[in-house]
A and B are shown apart, each in its own frame.
Chain A
Amino acid sequence: MAPISRRGLLAVGGGALGSTALAACGSPAKLPDSMEEIRTRPDRPSRGGVLHFGLSTDPANLDPHVTTGAASDFLRQLTYNGLLQYDGDGEITGDLAADYGWSSRTTYKVKLRPGVRFHDGSRLTTQDVVFSFRRMMDKKTAATTGPLLDQVDAVEAEDATTVVFRMKQPDTTLPFVLAGPTANIVSQRWIESGVDPKTRVMGTGPFKFIERIPGVSTTLERFGDYFDPELPYLNGIVFQPMSDDYARVTALRTATVDMIDYVPATHVDVITKNPRLRFASDKTFGFGFVGFVTSKPPFDDVRVRKAIALSINRPSVLETALLGHGRPIDGALMSDAFAGYPAKLDNTLGYDPEQARFLLKKAGREGMTMPVVTTSTYSVISRPAQAMLPGIRAAGVDVRLTQQEWLTFRASVTAKSFPVHSWGTAPKFGDPSSLGDFLSSTGTFAVNTDFKDERIDRLLGEGRRARSRELRDEIYRDVEQRALELLPMTWTVRRQQGEAHYDYVKGYRHPPKGSWTGTTLRRIWMEKTA
């Protein structure tokens, strides 16, 4: 046998080291291999296994009360619980609450489940709940739910198991807010220990946080003391950030991951034609819109805003940008999944470039130039923005589109650096009162347009106080109609949004009725044969 040369030894050693390093890079999760094993149970969901999930964003901020998008909300809802939650049918049900409801017009009571523990083993108390809501209502937290709790006067612990919300005035939206993905309950002791909740996680959810490697993975492990002894079925979940649409879909198709979120419209057909893949989606959630800065010319003139709204060829935008996977919105923003959907407003904004030209002429803005900003980060936003350009050009407007990275785009919109922005988002919860985000003078999105209308503010306030369904329907119909008259924003298309997974992933349901929730992930299992 030939002697091993020093060079040969170095080559072999270097190769082995390199292979090991590569292998280490390819397996980000620290969960032991034994956890991948799935134990089948006759007539019951299988137990075990680790779900590998391709996530559209890398959740940098894990604060339980501050959302950074629907993708990161998945993680929050697996590691924390709220008092209420949306079930798979989009209906509100108890989460940490065993019992809940209005005890008077201005008092809402929640009775906690017994025996709930945090991941550190400590017991959940009513003081933790009170602390959590005070943290959400503290402006310093900048909690997503904070502004929605503006009608809460006080949150108090009535006894060891009951929490009381005392309202300034009646507010029918409170249960929707309590079921939101960022109305989570935290341990007072844990937060006050000085831990950074943006990077650490400790809740009562069915999964414990193990680690997050930025840009690589976030690993969750089954919590053995979860208050529902049946859940979770999985041993763990490994989220792998895959912001590139193509990479994410390819990872699913090559079985690198078991499930992905945000299936891009351009890949829906590829996914649905694959017999081993399932696509769970709906068309009531995400939508696109064009916002105008209404405080500056030329968009301080409603005729100009209406001209742009009429020059957007929504069916064409849907057909080209989303390849038909969605619905055009030419009337009310509220989803037609709601009983009170004002169908009579449909076709209010049909494509009419001639009328648009006429309005621009009347406003003295013929042939105007319109700078528009959008983001290049998400195709569900950038593609509709591109697809609306031919229609607007047909109305004689020289439209200049600028695409920016997501955070830069957000900053540009907030600073109102562009007179028009093309965005896509979703309502915070599945109730028409979430219109306030877009139309009230203090709404999260409305402030980017400098829009203020006293009548809409008054109607939105009345809507929150109204208890009669008929009255609420009437109020929100008026809000929608007023919005279509004043057009601080114009809605474009409602997109089909959903998640895709292999057929061996069972029990997942995409939430209907615009009630965004990731709680059905708590109840999924895998029936995978080795």
Chain B
Amino acid sequence: MSTAELTSSQAPPEAAAPARRGSKYFLRRLAANRRTAIAGGFLLLVGLAALLAPLIAPHDYRDIVGKPLTQGGVLGVDDFGRDVLSRLLIGLRTSLAVALSAVVIAGVLGTALGLVAGYGSRLVSGVIMRGIDILLSFPPIVLAIAVVAAMGPALINVVMVIGVLYIPRFTRIVYSQVLAIRHVEYVEASEVMGTRRSTILLRTILPNVAAPVIVQLSLSVSFAIQMEAGLSFLGLGAQPPLPSLGTMVGAGRDFLEVQPSLLIYPSVLIILLVLALNVFGDGLRDLLDPRRRGTDS
């Protein structure tokens, strides 16, 4: 039986449909949901600000530009006399870079492990999934603090730790999806045709489990931002003078009564970022979920 002879019921399901229908269709549907559109617009704005931070920041984030704890500049001056707006932009860049890098690591490794576990033998599946269970049994923030404290405070360590800790999120999702589709006709058809297993995994199965992974990516970024902020707040993340949103919250805490804005600005930015990522993730899920197709406005 050739691929051309497959009936419509045997064809890969609609999960990959948006990609087939083109990005314009995808964006039009995304924009149709007002909440998702606003969140997406905010994230785009924030992403651009982070990307262009060194160019648009009014000052070098390390320079002393005024008397400490005064209102000079757009958002004031911090306890070391540095421009708060410049540090907020660089801090945003740092936090997003750490969160995105960590989630990419988690996404790639987690998805790969999930694919192998779901499509491999029972032994391979058992070893991988029990390893994932062990990783899941530790409270993430406690494990992150312990590991980063042992490895030494550095951003690269934070990226690696968050990346590894978030692997189970992706592995479990992909594993369950692979189990659901590994025996459907189009997969079996590929097997019968003698297609290599790695090709089946990458070309046939992966595109059909991609939708929940994409949603998980957006949601995990928000969790990663929170975890990075937590670790940096404790002094285990970005090292001075490089700011991150977490270190700015930690430093601002000491001046809550003198200059509360030092605490409020980075805190509000973290809240808005996490909120926007969650709303956007929800919108993506609705869009990519074939069962909810047509129910969104």
Chain B residue with the shortest CB-CB distance to A402: B239
Chain B contributes a number of interface residues (CB within 8 A of A) equal to 21
> Which residues from chain B contact A390 at a C-beta distance below 8 Å?
62-64
User: Is there contact, CB below 8 Å, between B239 and A321?
Assistant: no
Complex Cα spacing A313 to B152, Å: 29
Which residues of B are at the interface with A, using a C-beta cutoff of 8 A? 62-64, 67-69, 79-81, 149, 152-153, 235, 239-241, 253-255, 257-258
User: Is there contact, CB below 8 Å, between B235 and A387?
Assistant: no
User: Is there contact, CB below 8 Å, between B64 and A320?
Assistant: yes
> Which residues from chain B contact A405 at a C-beta distance below 8 Å?
149
Smallest beta-carbon distance A226→chain B, Å: 40
Complex Cα spacing A323 to B149, Å: 30
Chain A residue with the shortest CB-CB distance to B255: A266
- 26 A-B contacts (beta carbon < 8 Å): A245-B254, A264-B254, A266-B255, A267-B254, A316-B64, A319-B81, A320-B64, A320-B68, A320-B80, A323-B68, A323-B69, A376-B235, A382-B240, A386-B241, A387-B80, A389-B62, A389-B241, A390-B62, A390-B63, A393-B62, A401-B239, A401-B240, A403-B153, A403-B240, A404-B152, A408-B152
> Which residues from chain A contact B79 at a C-beta distance below 8 Å?
266, 320, 323
> Which residues from chain B contact A316 at a C-beta distance below 8 Å?
64, 81
A338 lies within 8 A of chain B by Cβ: no
A337 lies within 8 A of chain B by Cβ: no
Which residues, 368 to 413 on A, are CB-close (under 8 Å) to B? 376, 382, 386-387, 389-390, 393, 401-405, 408
A17 lies within 8 A of chain B by Cβ: no
User: Given A320-B79, A323-B68, A403-B153, does the pair A386, B240 have CB atoms closer than 8 Å?
Assistant: yes
The list of the 6 closest CB pairs from A to B, nearest first, reads A320-B80, A266-B254, A376-B235, A386-B240, A390-B64, A320-B68
Size bracket, chain A contacts: 20 to 34
A269-283 CB contact bits vs B (8 Å, 1 = yes)?
110000000000000
> Which residues from chain A contact B235 at a C-beta distance below 8 Å?
376, 403
Smallest beta-carbon distance A463→chain B, Å: 39
Which residues of A are at the interface with B, using a C-beta cutoff of 8 A? 245-246, 264, 266-267, 269-270, 316, 319-321, 323, 376, 382, 386-387, 389-390, 393, 401-405, 408
Smallest beta-carbon distance B147→chain A, Å: 14
User: Given A320-B68, A323-B79, does the pair A403, B239 have CB atoms closer than 8 Å?
Assistant: yes
Chain A residue with the shortest CB-CB distance to B236: A376
> Which residues from chain B contact A320 at a C-beta distance below 8 Å?
64, 68, 79-81
Complex Cα spacing A514 to B81, Å: 30
Name the contact of B241 in the complex, choosing from A266, A270, A401 (C-beta under 8 A): A401
> Which residues from chain A contact B240 at a C-beta distance below 8 Å?
382, 386, 401, 403
Complex Cα spacing A200 to B226, Å: 43
Name the contact of A269 in the complex, choosing from B149, B241, B258 (C-beta under 8 A): B258
Chain A residue with the shortest CB-CB distance to B153: A403
Smallest beta-carbon distance A406→chain B, Å: 12
User: Is there contact, CB below 8 Å, between A246 and B254?
Assistant: yes
Smallest beta-carbon distance A383→chain B, Å: 8
Given contacts A319-B68, A401-B240, A404-B152, 13 further A-B contacts (CB under 8 A): A264-B254, A266-B254, A270-B257, A316-B64, A323-B68, A323-B69, A376-B153, A382-B240, A387-B80, A390-B62, A401-B241, A404-B153, A408-B152
Complex Cα spacing A294 to B241, Å: 26
Name the contact of A386 in the complex, choosing from B69, B80, B149, B152 (C-beta under 8 A): B80
Complex Cα spacing A393 to B63, Å: 10
Complex Cα spacing A319 to B64, Å: 11
Smallest beta-carbon distance B251→chain A, Å: 9
> Which residues from chain B contact A386 at a C-beta distance below 8 Å?
80, 240-241
Smallest beta-carbon distance A247→chain B, Å: 10
Smallest beta-carbon distance A321→chain B, Å: 7
Smallest beta-carbon distance A325→chain B, Å: 12
> Which residues from chain B contact A267 at a C-beta distance below 8 Å?
254
> Which residues from chain A contact B258 at a C-beta distance below 8 Å?
269-270
> Which residues from chain B contact A264 at a C-beta distance below 8 Å?
254
Complex Cα spacing A320 to B68, Å: 6
